[in-house]
Amino acid sequence: MELLKETILKKGKVLSGDVLKVGSFLNNQIDVKLLSAMADDVFAHFKDKKVTKVLTVEASGIAFACFIAERFSCDAVFAKKSMTTNVDGETFCADCYSFTHKTANKLIVPKEYLSEKDVVLVADDFLANGQAVNALISIIKDAGAELCGVAIAIEKGFQCGGDALRNRGVDIYSLAVIDEMNAGGIKFRA
């Protein structure tokens, strides 16, 4: 998506450890016009799917997931990274190693928010090694729900997650795929 790529080039910062900082428009401050346009693009790709839930991970996937869910007139659900006092009842859980925090987490979704009746679109801000998306897919499987695809804002194509999922037949729709990034610049996949 050209507008997202332009924004990444203008406002993104390449940090050490293959991390792209996008705090000024996606992760910390939200450019709502940009996210709205991103949701339109995702909707155009998945519009024939009868999406009933958009599933993401707290915290940085939530804004993107909410804009997409609004297009499908459905709810967005986010997995929590720790049990909190406001989670009660049974939960679906999956292990996930966090790329940015370098910690092992459990992703947790209360069973009341996902069922075998759901057609689920996974959404996240980044796809790197695929840990987060794989954990969400495992939760969807445990719920007996149907996975209809994965929408990603920024895929780092030089890491293995996206291509491994495509090889398994998952419909991964990434709005910008970065094939190379370093202090000298960012190159997108054509």
Q: Are strands 91-97 and 104-110 parallel, antiparallel or unpaired?
A: antiparallel
- Using CB under 6 A as the criterion, what x/- string covers residues 16-35 for binding ligand 5GP? ---xx-x----x--------
**99 binding ligand 5GP? (CB under 6 A):** yes
Number of residues that bind ligand 5GP (CB under 6 A): 19
Alpha-carbon radius of gyration of the chain: 16
The residue (of 85 and 183) whose beta carbon lies closer to ligand 5GP is 183
Choices 64-72, 112-120, 121-129, 164-172 (CB under 6 A): range interacting with ligand 5GP: 121-129
Angle, CA of 123, 126 and 131, to the nearest 5°: 85
What does the DSSP 8-state code read for residue 111?
G
149 binds ligand 5GP (CB under 6 A): no
Q: Are 160 and 130 in contact (CB under 8 A)?
A: yes
Cβ contacts of 15 within 8 Å, gap of 6 or more: 21
Q: Identify the residue whose tokens are 């869910």.
A: 69
- Confirm or reject binding of residue 131 to ligand 5GP (CB under 6 A): yes
Q: Least distance from C-beta 55 to ligand 5GP, angstroms?
A: 12
Among 130, 145, 165, 177, binds ligand 5GP (CB under 6 A): 130
Residue found under tokens 């707290």: 58
Q: What residues make contact with ligand 5GP under the rule CB under 6 A? A: 19-20, 22, 27, 57, 60-61, 99-100, 124-132, 161
